[in-house]
Amino acid sequence: MAHRRLFVGGNWKMNGDRESLERLVGTLNIASLHDQTEVVCAAPSIYLDFVRSILDPRIAVAAQNRFKVAKGAFTSEISPLTCGLGADWVILGHSERRHVFGEGDELIGQKVAHALESGLGVIACIGEKLEEREAGTTEEVVYAQTQAIAENVKDWGRVVPAYEPVWAIGTGKTTSPEQAQEVHGKLRAWLRVNVSDDVADSLRLIYGGSVTGANCRELASQRDVDGFLVGGASLKPEFVDIVNARP
């Protein structure tokens, strides 16, 4: 909807070195980006400071993961206290964290709470696996995941939920625009009942799952699709087309 500003996040995942990321940032810095679209790029943690130092200020930087506490005996984990490294946002609950690294709803909720307390905005991911969709439990799964997040949010103005059907991530498959709209619409209805009318009306719900320059415009035209979390295409020139998906 026109009153909700489009939000496009690029999740670079575990890709890039200084040289390749410098080229990618250079492409973004000279690109003509829709001035009404909020753009965030999620760099690998070791490059957050570097990327922030060379990326145009109109584009925000996100971390790809953060732990649930600020410090402690947690070998290899990364503290949410990353604002000094230039990150304004963090991606939490991504399907790869859930299904590759075994993070559950409770842990993700705790991470959301602490990230918000630390001053970070949160791109909060939810989504069903293929067997869950085929079993007809998509709503049950995404509602439970959203509930675990909602229980840990006080300020919804710094949260952007991202619906990512797991079976459409990195597979080349995507939900149809109608399927994406169906889930987004039901999520907005859930928020209306379980959070508030104001949050349901204003919250941006973004879609993630093999978004490309070819399908982004039709997806962006859906009533309740307010942007994207982009994986592989965020490393390519077509990311600019995705940012500019809405006229």
Active site residues: 94, 164
Answer whether 8's CB lies under 8 Å from 39's CB.
Answer: yes
Tokens matching residue 63: 């971390």
Q: In the block, which residue shows the tokens 């075994």?
A: 102
Kindly give, in sequence order, each residue whose CB lies less than 8 Å from that of residue 169, ignoring residues fewer than 6 positions away: 95, 96, 127, 208, 209, 210, 231
- Please give the angle made by the CA atoms of 201, 219 and 56, to the nearest 5 degrees: 80
Answer whether 242's CB lies under 8 Å from 221's CB.
Answer: no
Q: What does DSSP assign to residue 73?
A: S
d(CA 224, CA 204): 8
